[in-house]
Amino acid sequence: MPIIVNLDVMMAKRKMSLNELSEKVDITLSNLSILKTGKAKAVRFSTLEAICKALDCQPGDILEFVDSEDT
């Protein structure tokens, strides 16, 4: 998939655990884990906004587009 999720990178930079982020964003651990591992098919803007607020970052810090033709 050409969209890479760098949620684990931002969580490490902010020294925040999956449990802590789950509580701040009010999303289940399983759904957050699916997003973190890049297995999610979609993400709501409201969820992305809450994650960005909790991690004090921009959406581009979490989501990255990698064109498969460039690799």
Q: Dihedral angle at the C-alpha atoms of 8, 11, 15, 19, nearest 10 degrees?
A: -90
Closest C-alpha to 25, from 65, 1, 56, 2: 56
The mean of the pLDDT values for the chain is 93
Give the tens place of pLDDT for each residue, 33-52. Answer: 999 999 999 999 999 999 99
Does residue 71 lie within any of the structural domains? no
CB 69 within 8 Å of CB 9 = no
Residue of 34, 30, 37 whose CA lies nearest to 4: 37
In angstroms, rounded to a whole number, what is the distance separating the alpha carbons of residues 42 and 32? 12
Any domain includes 67: no
Into how many domains does the chain fold? 1
CATH code, domain with 35:
1.10.260.40
Give the rounded percent of residues in the chain with a pLDDT score beyond 70.
96
pLDDT band at 15 (very low <50, low <70, confident <90, very high): very high
Whether 18 is covered by a domain: the verdict is yes
Output the pTM of the full model: 0.89
Residue 4 three-state SS: strand
On whether residue 38 sits in a domain, the answer given is yes
69 lies in some domain: no
- Domain extent, residue 56, equals 3-62
For the stretch 49-68, pLDDT in tens is: 999 999 999 999 999 999 87
Note whether residue 42 is domain-resident.
Answer: yes
